[in-house]
Chains A and B, each alone.
Chain A
Amino acid sequence: MTAERWLQVFHDYSTSSFVELLRRQAPHLLPTLSAPVDAAGEEVPRGTTVLALRYRDGVVMAGDRQATTGLTVASRRIEKIFKCDELSGIGIAGAAGPALELAKLFQTELEHYEKVEGENLSLEGKANRLSQMIRMNLQAALMGLAVIPIFAGFDERAGVGRLFKYDITGGRYEETNYDAQGSGAKDARDSLKKLWRRDMTRDEAIRVALEALIDAADEDIGTGGPDFVRGIFPTVRTITRSGFTEVPEDEVRRVCEQILNDRRKSEQGA
């Protein structure tokens, strides 16, 4: 009995995972569906296009701002790119409710680990942890509530930016250059395929990300383009050695204007 008791203490102490803590102390807060829900018949808001691409100093992540329910706009202002910690970010596509919950849980998971252990998880460790958490959502995914994130970050040990994509079963695949997810992903990826170059500067990379999002909004009815009337623009973030940084909205607006001006010119044959 005493041997088991010290072992119990050992295990309790060695857990630095917040998800594990929830499972033990508050399982009702875990974002898993335990009862079958007829979710397929009920349309839910879905996040549409997010993307990430590597450039010279790290990774750019970007996403449009629209959530779409069927053929209706559910929200024009949702955020899909979130900071996970100082050196990584997550972009979410798929069923918006579970996706936002997953992003929040993942942020808490990383921060919890960092505080308990006194140091950060490796980027590899973070990417693996996320894949296990997506697998928790598998039951909901099979009922039509799939969550498919992109995870990107700066790998301090390797000194480079890296990005990972996932499938609904938690399968994890590292992409070397760029990737996009969501309903406009195919169009964004086509655009990135033509525009992406090795060792782009920050400004070039931001322009390429926005070109791809504007292409996606052009072709995909679910994806929202830059909205000059309401002043709503895509979210753009950079992750480099010095951290996760927001690209100011003014700058995003200016680049969007330039892109649209250039397209207008070529359309008019000037």
Chain B
Amino acid sequence: MPLPYYVSPEQMMKDKAEYARKGIARGRSIVALEYRDGILLVAENPSTLLHKISEIYDRIAFAGVGKYNEFENLRIAGIRHADLKGYSYSRGDVTAKALANAYSQALGNIFTQDIKPFEVEVLVAEVGDDEGGKNEIYHILYDGTIEDERQYAAMGGQAEDIRRFLKDHYREGLSLAEALQLGVRALSVTQNKTLTERDLEVAVLDRTKPRRKFRRIPPEAIAQLLGTTR
């Protein structure tokens, strides 16, 4: 049996990280923005059937960029985790923090143990309640790194540029229309074309809704909010 070549751990991690980052950079981006009534999620996604944004639980949403089959797997694992927990304890005990940590563990484990890391980044967002509860946005990277973000978050190929743009333009207390317009401008900051409702997938966690806060915004409503109705 031939001996395997020796590769230093540093080199191996570096190679894996580079591989994952390249995969993610090929994909289109997603932004999340806190607005007056909750959290807005905007993805550049020309498909109306294969979603990047999804409902996980009453107050919790999921968004993924990168390789579809990989984040789809994470999405379903998240729904299973949340429903199982809510069923065995109570609905109020299901939190974004626990879910984000579970994702972080899973991605970290895959990154170190498997030959091929997942080429994904995911966001887990939880909207606060009416009594001044805080919104939470967690950003989990391909290697399990977890960050909690305030006000806005971006991930995907052009995340750096988008974040820089939002840093200059974001302000508190945006209405839904203002937040959506800002999100779309941020997504198109690195490209020359303007994004229309047909290129976008938009959903909100709306704290004014009863129990299940997640709501998709259909293309006609997106056009209306963007002020581009023909």
- A residues with a Cβ closer than 8 A to B are 13, 18, 21-22, 25-26, 29, 104-105, 108, 111-112, 115-116, 118
> Is A25 a contact of B83 with CB atoms below 8 Å?
no
> Is A112 a contact of B76 with CB atoms below 8 Å?
no
CB-defined contacts of A22 to chain B, threshold 8 Å: 84, 87
The majority secondary structure among interface residues of chain A is: helix
Nearest 7 pairs between A and B by C-beta?
Answer: A112-B83, A115-B79, A108-B87, A115-B55, A29-B88, A21-B80, A116-B79
B86 sits at the interface (CB 8 A): yes
B56 sits at the interface (CB 8 A): yes
Interface residues of B in 1-33 (CB under 8 A from A): none
B54 sits at the interface (CB 8 A): yes
B97 sits at the interface (CB 8 A): no
- Tell me how many residues of B have a C-beta within 8 Å of chain A: 13
**A246 vs chain B, min Cβ distance (A):** 11
> Is B76 a contact of A18 with CB atoms below 8 Å?
no
B67 sits at the interface (CB 8 A): no
Given contacts A21-B83, A25-B84, A118-B54, 7 further A-B contacts (CB under 8 A): A18-B87, A29-B88, A104-B87, A108-B86, A112-B79, A115-B54, A118-B51
Q: Name the one of A13, A111, A118 contacting B83, with C-beta atoms under 8 angstroms.
A: A111
**A26 vs chain B, min Cβ distance (A):** 6
Q: How far is the CA of A239 from the CA of B83 in the complex (A)?
A: 25
- B residues with a Cβ closer than 8 A to A are 51, 54-56, 73, 76, 79-80, 83-84, 86-88
**Would you mind naming 29 contact pairs between A and B with Cβ atoms under 8 Å apart?**
A13-B73, A13-B76, A18-B83, A18-B87, A21-B80, A21-B83, A21-B84, A22-B84, A22-B87, A25-B84, A26-B84, A26-B88, A29-B87, A29-B88, A104-B87, A105-B87, A108-B83, A108-B86, A108-B87, A111-B83, A112-B80, A112-B83, A115-B56, A115-B79, A115-B83, A116-B76, A116-B79, A118-B51, A118-B54
Q: How far is the CA of A13 from the CA of B69 in the complex (A)?
A: 11
Q: Which partner residue on chain A sits nearest B55 by CB separation?
A: A115
Q: How far is the CA of A37 from the CA of B56 in the complex (A)?
A: 38
Q: How far is the CA of A22 from the CA of B55 in the complex (A)?
A: 20
Q: How far is the CA of A111 from the CA of B79 in the complex (A)?
A: 10
**A136 vs chain B, min Cβ distance (A):** 15
CB-defined contacts of A105 to chain B, threshold 8 Å: 87
**A11 vs chain B, min Cβ distance (A):** 13
CB-defined contacts of B79 to chain A, threshold 8 Å: 112, 115-116
Q: How far is the CA of A105 from the CA of B88 in the complex (A)?
A: 10
Q: Which partner residue on chain A sits nearest B56 by CB separation?
A: A115
Q: Which partner residue on chain B sits nearest A21 by CB separation?
A: B80
CB-defined contacts of A115 to chain B, threshold 8 Å: 54-56, 79, 83
**B1 vs chain A, min Cβ distance (A):** 21
**B180 vs chain A, min Cβ distance (A):** 22
Q: Which partner residue on chain B sits nearest A18 by CB separation?
A: B83
**B67 vs chain A, min Cβ distance (A):** 15
**B20 vs chain A, min Cβ distance (A):** 21
**A189 vs chain B, min Cβ distance (A):** 33
**A248 vs chain B, min Cβ distance (A):** 15
CB-defined contacts of B86 to chain A, threshold 8 Å: 108
Q: Which partner residue on chain A sits nearest B211 by CB separation?
A: A83
